[in-house]
Amino acid sequence: MQENKTPRPPVVALINPPYFKGFSRTQRSPGVIKSGTMYYPYWLAHAAAVLEADGFDIMLYDCPAAGMDRAALLDALGALKPGLCFLETSTASAANDCAVAEEIKSRIPGVRICMGGTHVSALWKDTLDVHKGVDFVAIGEYDFTLRDLARAINARAHDFTGIEGLACRSADGASVSGPAREFIDDVDVLPWIAPIYKKFLNPANYYFAIAHHPMAMLIGGRGCPARCTYCVYPQVMHGHRYRTRSADSIVGEMLWIQKNMPEVREIVFEDDTFTADKRFARRVAELVKLRGVGLPWFANIRTNTDRETLALLKSAGLRCCAVGFESGDDAMLSAMHKGETVEVHRRFMKDCRELGIMVHGCFMVGFPGETRETMEATFNLAVELAPDSAQFYPVMPFPGTEYYKWARLSGVLDTLDYSRWLDAHGGHRTVISLPGLPAREIEKFCEGAYMRFHFGPSYVRSKLWQAFRQPSEGWRSLVAFYRFTANKIAAVFRRD
């Protein structure tokens, strides 16, 4: 009997690398968040599902969520002996992530290293030129780029320059990118990620202060038609055309979670704008009701969503939404190409309040022309709108965005040392100094606005009343307050 000489497919390890404890890499502004926020690695999960469906053995390591440090990861990989390691990156963690990649390369004989995510997609040439331990960069949507790379490695290929969406080194050592990969048109071809979560992750490790814990994070579609200058995912990863899954696929996955992950208490849709295609959002809501999904859910939406659509979403279980109000000044909204006005924000908030939809308000400062007066107008709008919770962030100039290009050309970017985009404990720092507004003043405004909003008398009264009327929401808020306070106290002791 002749021995089968067919090579065994390489084991593929998908890695969210270790960094700061509690570092949430997948969120739009990665960092250690005082509320304890930890996002699921949903990009990695999609790629893992594609590879598994293609017959590859896979392992997914979410190091920040699992509390796995670099030594533990290296030990695990040493035992696994993968043929290919894929690491997801972010701008603030890029230097750390590349160092982890190079250490894996030095410890695992013959392993190939590929990196993906927003930062290396925008700066793939810099990454390959500087970090010789990194063999490949998957640019943008990497689900099928990574699959094609794994297939090529399995076939013992030596030339990878023809793989769509992949940057690598040519035979002469130059950093080159292959043909551009088209965006996935039919997003239903992506397998469900919930089974990957169940197989490799612990839902208790993931936390979102404005959702009931534990939650599960899904994607209903990719892309966003909005042209906000600062938003990195549409500009770098998945484009401006909103490509949605079918309502049947989405609701089927929600029901799968309901049946197979009974610990999950809420589903969070992390699409940039779930209501960008209102017909799609309505179809999902109608099918959720028809098929009896019992879990409440959360979505990111824009303030131009009409009341009728909001009412239907609410009737289908939409409990809370996150909204990018961003600024209380119309000139700032115009500068960021938001496509909305303060009056639109007010109308939306009125509709949500009357319909009983909770709102998490997102506010940002640091745009072209920003002043102390426009920042205070933003805070005043937050108080006027009175969302259930609010965040106040400095704008982060992520490579690949229009805002980053403006910041560099205008000379307001303080540093290109991306490791300085976080403080010594992984919290956000401001790296933009505007005329008359130094970086530290922008930071202090954000810190102060958060405290003034959440500890103001009217807000405290509203939360006490909410706890009386809705005990489950009161408990959620109490847990969020405890996490925030504990992290603030820990930060004080770390400074000492």
Higher per-residue pLDDT: 496 or 234? 234
Task: Specify whether the backbone of 35 is left (phi greater than 0), alpha (psi in -120 to 50) or beta.
Answer: alpha
Domain count, the chain: 2
pLDDT band, residue 444 (cuts 50/70/90): very high
pLDDT mean over 347-369: 97
Q: In what helix (H) or strand (E) does residue 356 lie, and over which residues does it extend?
A: none
Contacts 24+ apart (CB under 8 A), 256-259: 256/192, 256/194, 256/195, 257/194, 257/216, 257/295, 258/293, 258/294, 258/295
Question: Which tens digits make up the pLDDT trace of 107-153?
Answer: 999 999 999 999 999 999 999 999 999 999 999 999 999 999 999 99
Question: Which tens digits make up the pLDDT trace of 156-188?
Answer: 999 999 999 999 999 899 999 999 999 999 999
Question: Which tens digits make up the pLDDT trace of 406-416?
Answer: 999 999 999 99
CB atoms within 10 A of CB 162: 11
For 268, the token pair is 């969070």
Which range marks the domain in which residue 76 is found? 12-140+142-177
Position 182 in a domain: no
Position 421 in a domain: no
Position 70 in a domain: yes
Instruction: Please give the model's pTM, rounded to 2 decimal places.
Output: 0.93
Question: Which tens digits make up the pLDDT trace of 268-277?
Answer: 999 999 999 9
Percentage of the chain exceeding pLDDT 90 = 84
3-state helix, strand, coil in the chain (%, to 5): 45, 15, 40
Q: Do both 260 and 329 map to the same domain?
A: yes
pLDDT band, residue 454 (cuts 50/70/90): confident
Confidence at residue 495, expressed as pLDDT on a 0 to 100 scale: 46
Q: Closest Cα to residue 33, out of 330, 389, 405, 350?
A: 389
Res. 463: pLDDT tops 90: no
Measured between alpha carbons, how far is residue 270 from residues 39, 43, 204, 344, 473 in Å? 10, 11, 18, 23, 21
Q: 261 CB contacts (<8 Å, ≥6 apart)?
A: 194, 197, 198, 203, 216
Confidence at residue 2, expressed as pLDDT on a 0 to 100 scale: 44
Position 418 in a domain: no
pLDDT band, residue 466 (cuts 50/70/90): low
d(CA 312, CA 257): 22
Residue at 36: amino acid letter: G
What residue has token string 């080159």?
Answer: 176
Q: Do both 195 and 164 map to the same domain?
A: no
Position 423 in a domain: no
Q: Do both 86 and 153 map to the same domain?
A: yes
d(CA 173, CA 129): 9
Q: Do both 279 and 391 map to the same domain?
A: yes
Position 5 in a domain: no
- Report the relative pairing of strands 215-218 and 136-138 from DSSP bridges: unpaired
- The DSSP output letter for 183 is P
Res. 481: pLDDT tops 80: no
CATH of the domain at 157: 3.40.50.280
Res. 484: pLDDT tops 70: no
- The DSSP output letter for 426 is S
Res. 333: pLDDT tops 70: yes
Q: Do both 241 and 335 map to the same domain?
A: yes
Q: Do both 234 and 369 map to the same domain?
A: yes
Q: Do both 119 and 219 map to the same domain?
A: no
Q: Which range (208-212, 293-297, 398-402) has the least confidence? A: 208-212
CATH of the domain at 324: 3.20.20.70
- Which phi and psi (to 5°) does residue 435 adopt? -55, 120
Contact 262, 165 (CB under 8 A): no
Position 249 in a domain: yes
Q: Do both 156 and 198 map to the same domain?
A: no
Confidence at residue 418, expressed as pLDDT on a 0 to 100 scale: 92
Confidence at residue 490, expressed as pLDDT on a 0 to 100 scale: 55
Res. 38: pLDDT tops 90: yes
Position 431 in a domain: no
Print burial letters for 51-69: b (CB count within 10 Å at least 16), e (below 16).
Answer: bbebebebbbbbbbbbebe
Q: Do both 332 and 447 map to the same domain?
A: yes
**DSSP secondary structure, 26-80, as one string:** SSSS-EE-TT--B---HHHHHHHHHHHHTT--EEEEEHHHHT--HHHHHHHHHHH
Contacts 24+ apart (CB under 8 A), 405-410: 406/229, 406/368, 407/432, 410/368
pLDDT band, residue 3 (cuts 50/70/90): very low
Q: Is 259 exposed, middle or buried (0-12, 13-18, 19+ CB in 10 A)?
A: exposed
pLDDT band, residue 486 (cuts 50/70/90): low
Q: Do both 154 and 196 map to the same domain?
A: no
CA 227 to chain centre: 18
Question: Which tens digits make up the pLDDT trace of 233-251?
Answer: 999 999 999 999 999 999 9
Per DSSP, helices labelled H in 123-235 are: 124-130, 143-154, 194-200, 232
Residue at 370: amino acid letter: E
Q: 369 CB contacts (<8 Å, ≥6 apart)?
A: 331, 332, 335
Give me the chain's average pLDDT, please: 93
Q: Do both 277 and 163 map to the same domain?
A: no
For 99, the token pair is 């160092």
Domain end among 122, 151, 177: 177
Q: Do both 173 and 199 map to the same domain?
A: no
Res. 493: pLDDT tops 60: no
CA 161 to chain centre: 29
Over the Cα atoms of the chain, what is R_g?
A: 23
